[in-house]
Structures are given as structure tokens and as C-alpha cells.
Amino acid sequence: MDFAARRRQAREDRKPHVTEAEVAKAEVVSLKEKLKALKAENPKDKKIGLLEAKIGEREKAARDAQSKADAIDAAVFDLKAVNPNAVVKVDGRTPEDVVASIEEQGRIVFSALQTLRELIR
């Protein structure tokens, strides 16, 4: 497996997302400066709420874009050992079967405890 080639490809694939995240972060900084000035001018201005909502949207866009870029980058080094031939064990018992099994195990434990008590005496 050629990790260098995979890494180069991942860098190319993540570039648009990184750029989008950087642009969104820059917009957030600019919007926060505008918000600060607007609050200093008139703390009761109705535009403050709209500006705060816009800041929230752009922060979310930045996080989402960065998350996509990070996922692409992480996929290059994902070396999980997964056995494709592994058999998945599914418990097909009904709830009644499970309860009956628990009761049976309880009886076995009770019997073992009685035997142990007798041996201790």
C-alpha cells in the first residue's frame, strides 16, 4: 500500500474543505468585529440578533468543513484490523427464554452456594 500517494490524494481532496473552513473563520472574525462595534453604538439595535445568528451559522459552517477535512485526513491512516470472515453471533432468544435462562442460572448458583456452605461447616 502506497501511503505517500494516499496522503497526497487526501491533501488534494481536503483542500476545498480546508479553504472553506478558513474563509468561514475569517468571516466570523469580521462579523464579530461588526457586532462589537454595533453593540458599542447601540446595544438595543435589532441588527444585533441577526448578526449573532449569522455568526452562529458561519461558525457551524467552519466546524463542518473542518470536520470533513479531518475525516479525509484520518481515513489515510485508518488501519483497523477487521476480519471479513468473522461470524457475527446474534442472540435469537425471546425475552421469555432469557428470563428462563437467568432463573436456571440462579438455581445453579444457589445449589453451588449450598454445597459450599456444607463444606465450610
* Residue 17 and residue 55 in one domain: yes
Domain assignment present for residue 49? The answer is yes
Q: What is the mean predicted confidence (pLDDT) over 11-21?
A: 93
- CA 26 from centre of chain: 26
* The predicted structure's pLDDT at residue 14: 92
* Residue 68 and residue 105 in one domain: no
- Assess whether pLDDT exceeds 70 at residue 1: no
Query: What share of the chain has pLDDT > 70, as a percent?
Result: 97
Residue 3's SS3 state is helix
Residue 8's SS3 state is helix
Domain that holds residue 8: 3-76
Highest averaged pLDDT of the listed ranges 57-61, 78-82, 86-90: 57-61
> What separation in angstroms does the CA of 100 have from each of 92, 96, 105, 109?
14, 6, 9, 14
* Residue 28 and residue 63 in one domain: yes
* Residue 96 and residue 57 in one domain: no
48-54 long-range contacts (CB < 8 A, ≥24 apart) are none
Q: Which range among 1-5, 41-45, 88-92 shows the weakest confidence by mean pLDDT?
A: 1-5
CB 62 within 8 A of CB 28: yes
**Number of compact structural domains in the chain:** 2
* Residue 26 and residue 70 in one domain: yes
User: pTM of the full predicted structure?
Assistant: 0.58
* Residue 41 and residue 100 in one domain: no
* Residue 13 and residue 68 in one domain: yes
pLDDT in tens, 33-76: 999 999 999 888 888 999 999 999 999 999 999 999 999 988 88
* The predicted structure's pLDDT at residue 95: 95
* The predicted structure's pLDDT at residue 108: 97
Domain assignment present for residue 85? The answer is no
